[in-house]
Structure 1
Amino acid sequence: MATAVVGGRLESELVRDGSDRTKGLSRRTVLGTIAWSSLLSACTSPMTSSGETPAANALATPAAGQTLGSGSVRIALIIPASANGNAGAIATGLRNAADLALREFKGADLQILIKDDRGTPEGARAAAGEAIQEGARLILGPLFAPSVSAAAGVARPAGVPIIAFSTDTSVAERGVYLLSFLPQSDVERIVSFAGMRGRHAIAALLPANGYGTVVEAALQKYASASNSRVITIQRYQLDRVSMQVQAEAILPVLQRKEADTLLLPDAGDAAPFLAQYLASKNIRQGDIQILGSGQWDDPRILAEPALRGAWYPGPDRAAYSAFAARYQAAFGAPPVRTASLGYDAVSLAAGLAARYGQQAFTAQTIANPNGFLGVDGAFRFLPDGINQRGLAVYEVGTGTATQIDPAPRTFSRTM
């Protein structure tokens, strides 16, 4: 089972507890390379290839051997269609979003081979082999890190690049690119923004899990890049006793005002509990600037008075809301949050094919430093396979969040 993190949880935990939630997070823009986004314009209403609007309840279930489109450029979408737990729901969302992108991209010359990896490395290896034998020139997916590694073992010798949905950066490399939402992007954006607002002394309370480890490494890296200092980091186990103990340990630094910023990136009930405990010790938002992560777009966090005025990063919301509305109209159910990755991946493939033809999926075209513009905003792939995203910054209000710094649409300045 995979060990990558998805929004603060291990990928394996996401599958087990079904906690991927639909959230309206970002602004509608049709995916396109920033330098030539007009090439990737799309239709405004979802239509089938016959010109008919699909029935509202036509929720598609991925099936091995299924094909979408009839274009001359073959690509594959590898998803855990028959896996247990929430993985199947994510697979359906990715497949449906890919279908929607294909319909909405004018003149898309793609044929998408749907392959089921069953959520296992063995299945991913077989699926990648089948896809390559059938002429796929690009693989989208898999979802889980071990499956990405297994598929890459087949695709790399064949010269077929992969754009995967895992958040485990250990599987990224030249030719294996991650389109997922990475904790590193959250940390880079919010630490950089805090630095621009004069906040340069950072304390952090992080979970003692894989997500916390990734965040800690990113914090050390991007604090230095923003001329900031990491004063102290405390790691807690996922229970309230441990959270309280570690919050108590960080108190002296906050009370002496050695830090002017506190990073609390964890999701769910963790950030509210920690903020409440610190407030009970007279450490309040305003005395110290609290920073969160992209997974803070959660009613539990937005409703917490002790977090009012805190900042967190996230995609611009309007585009995702528009995408979600079109998805629901097409398939009769709201998308899982990760469905936008399937839409953006297919739109990217269609745009590259339209512009570059036989040279569409080279390292130079995929890792274009100008980047691309998708449902979740600006993004680009780095040569080592990880991505950077242009994120907005939000301030927690009373049950709501207000955008206080817009998401950049280019990579002309540091994200």
Structure 2
Amino acid sequence: MVEVSAVFKTTIKPAARAGLLAALTVLGGCFGFGGGDAPTPDALVTQRDLSTQPDNVKIIGEGSVTVTMLLPLSAGGSASGLAQSFENAADLALKDVATDNIRVEIRDTGGETDVAKAAAEQAIGNGSRLILGPVFAEAVRGAAEPARSAGVPVIAFSTDSSVAGRGVYLLSFLPRQDATRIVAYAASQGMNSFAALVPNNNYGLVMEAAFREAVSSAGGRAIAIERYNQGEIEASAQSLTSRGAFQALFVPNGGDDPSNAAKIFANAGLSPKLLGSGQWANKAIISSPALVGAWYPGPAPGGFANFSKKYAAAYGSNPPRTASLVYDATLLANGLVGARGDGAFRANSLQTSDGFLGVDGVFRLTRDGLSERGLAVYEVIAGGESKVISEAPTKFGR
């Protein structure tokens, strides 16, 4: 197992490493996210002064190997806020290492395909060996073309698996993994008949496919699947109550949908085990008494809380949940250069089967461009909290 915080333990400042490892080794106890930990960016964070090149490219770090980070800095709204927090996370990562092996160029994509393509071309022309980002699928598509042509790998932060592929990796919280983990755990507890309520949108289609695959892999049966439009989950839940007996009900969407579905089944005198997704990792969702006893997957507790404290101390506000991905990606790039030199970003380095240990636990990049994560399973308890009932794995099986 390669530890991202050092990729190999010699490049991280001792105090920072101790704090990160302490957070990562906390694998039990209670866990609950407040609104500030929700995956959606909700605030523009403060940036420290960074040197600026004539073409408005910002530079983080003083290493000899150039890495480019593509962010939607000018996209406006929450996208620009997210971009700023991602820039800060990269800055924080290089503050936490003893040696800068890389210099990170921050380039704007505007969140658009053509702008991202041009930014990637400029980065490659300037000698970039690796591209971190973009954030949105459209921009990833734009950057992927020149990057593949030049043999420069991309580690993007989109959750749209359709943009992954040869040389383009997604270091993100991929929805499919949630379904795989929670269904597999339910099956391990003796459940073999499942149903699902999924939103009638792209996310719902992804989760429905992942649910069907997970149930089949676990040797179970998918009794029924109902799709619903926004605000109409109650009607679909009511329909499911008459579709036959099943032991577990998968409701991956967040917001009020899980609690509304739970109430419909309770009123009908039915009590399937409710299964959620990573979207449930929010105190506003799990505070509903109707969800007590429900299960959902998520990263091991402790790591993000420690990262968030460091981030807030440095920049004056809490990071969005996904900022830890950028912190890990930056440390990974810096550490691989220090450990493997010219071979740092070759496929066999990026796709090591043992994976890496980051803020949110173990992860690895795969040949098809996706990422795999070790996830814990949580049970909702009273008071808007949750506890770990199945710990996240600390290593990958071959």
The AA in structure 2 aligned to 1:329 is: A
SS at match of 1:114: strand
Which of these residues, 389, 394, 397, is aligned with residue 404 of structure 1? 389
In 2: Cα distance, 1:192 partner to 1:396 partner: 18
Match of 1:199 in 2: 191
The answer on whether the counterparts of 1:31 and 1:41 sit within 8 Å (CA) in structure 2 is no
Match of 1:274 in 2: 261
The answer on whether the counterparts of 2:11 and 2:99 sit within 8 Å (CA) in structure 1 is no
Which of these residues, 111, 130, 142, is aligned with residue 103 of structure 2? 111
Match of 2:140 in 1: 148
Matches for 1:26-41 after TM superposition, within 5 Å: 31=4, 38=9, 41=12
Structure 1 position 276, deviation (Å): 1.4
Structure 1 position 30, deviation (Å): 6.2
Structure 1 position 106, deviation (Å): 2.3
In 2: Cα distance, 1:80 partner to 1:247 partner: 38
The answer on 1:221 being equivalent to 2:213 is yes
Match of 2:318 in 1: 334
- Cα RMSD (Å): 1.9
Over residues 288-347 of structure 1, what are the superposed CA-to-partner deviations in whole Å (9 max), with x where a residue is unaligned? 211000110122321111111000000112010000000011111111111111101101
The answer on 1:324 being equivalent to 2:308 is yes
In 1: Cα distance, 2:160 partner to 2:49 partner: 26
Match of 2:234 in 1: 244
Over residues 110-146 of structure 1, what are the superposed CA-to-partner deviations in whole Å (9 max), with x where a residue is unaligned? 1001101111111101111111111100000000101
The answer on whether the counterparts of 1:59 and 1:333 sit within 8 Å (CA) in structure 2 is no
The AA in structure 2 aligned to 1:91 is: A
In 1: Cα distance, 2:200 partner to 2:206 partner: 10
Match of 1:69 in 2: 61
Match of 2:24 in 1: none
The answer on whether the counterparts of 2:46 and 2:317 sit within 8 Å (CA) in structure 1 is no
Match of 2:23 in 1: none
The AA in structure 2 aligned to 1:341 is: L
In 1: Cα distance, 2:313 partner to 2:353 partner: 35
The answer on 1:168 being equivalent to 2:139 is no
The answer on whether the counterparts of 1:307 and 1:396 sit within 8 Å (CA) in structure 2 is yes
In 1: Cα distance, 2:333 partner to 2:219 partner: 38
Structure 1 position 282, deviation (Å): 1.4
Over residues 351-398 of structure 1, what are the superposed CA-to-partner deviations in whole Å (9 max), with x where a residue is unaligned? 111111011101111111111111111111110001111011100011
The AA in structure 2 aligned to 1:405 is: S
SS at match of 2:190: coil
Unaligned stretches of 5+ residues in structure 2: 18-44
In 1: Cα distance, 2:78 partner to 2:15 partner: 30
Match of 2:41 in 1: none
The answer on 1:90 being equivalent to 2:78 is no
Over residues 145-175 of structure 1, what are the superposed CA-to-partner deviations in whole Å (9 max), with x where a residue is unaligned? 0110110111111110000001100000020
The answer on whether the counterparts of 1:268 and 1:298 sit within 8 Å (CA) in structure 2 is no
In 1: Cα distance, 2:126 partner to 2:13 partner: 28
In 2: Cα distance, 1:183 partner to 1:39 partner: 34
Structure 1 position 263, deviation (Å): 0.3
Over residues 26-83 of structure 1, what are the superposed CA-to-partner deviations in whole Å (9 max), with x where a residue is unaligned? xxx96259xx65356444359xxxxxxxxxx963488741101111111000000111
Match of 1:389 in 2: 373
The answer on whether the counterparts of 1:59 and 1:332 sit within 8 Å (CA) in structure 2 is no
The answer on whether the counterparts of 1:45 and 1:326 sit within 8 Å (CA) in structure 2 is no
The answer on 1:264 being equivalent to 2:251 is yes
In 2: Cα distance, 1:67 partner to 1:85 partner: 23
In 2: Cα distance, 1:315 partner to 1:41 partner: 23
The answer on 1:44 being equivalent to 2:15 is yes
The answer on 1:289 being equivalent to 2:273 is yes
In 2: Cα distance, 1:235 partner to 1:167 partner: 21
The answer on whether the counterparts of 2:101 and 2:335 sit within 8 Å (CA) in structure 1 is no
The answer on whether the counterparts of 1:204 and 1:264 sit within 8 Å (CA) in structure 2 is yes
In 2: Cα distance, 1:117 partner to 1:191 partner: 37
Q: 1:277 to 1:37 in 2, by over 3 A?
A: farther
In 2: Cα distance, 1:316 partner to 1:205 partner: 26
SS at match of 2:197: strand
The answer on whether the counterparts of 2:132 and 2:155 sit within 8 Å (CA) in structure 1 is yes
Unaligned stretches of 5+ residues in structure 1: 1-28, 47-56
Structure 1 position 243, deviation (Å): 1.5
Percent identity between the aligned chains?
Answer: 43
In 2: Cα distance, 1:158 partner to 1:352 partner: 20
Match of 2:31 in 1: none
Match of 1:379 in 2: 363
In 1: Cα distance, 2:242 partner to 2:331 partner: 51
The answer on 1:59 being equivalent to 2:47 is yes
Structure 1 position 180, deviation (Å): 0.9
Over residues 214-241 of structure 1, what are the superposed CA-to-partner deviations in whole Å (9 max), with x where a residue is unaligned? 01111111212111221111000012xx
SS at match of 1:223: helix
Q: 1:228 to 1:37 in 2, by over 3 A?
A: farther
The answer on 1:315 being equivalent to 2:305 is no
Q: Could you state the TM-score of these two structures normalised by the residue count of structure 1?
A: 0.84
In 2: Cα distance, 1:277 partner to 1:61 partner: 53
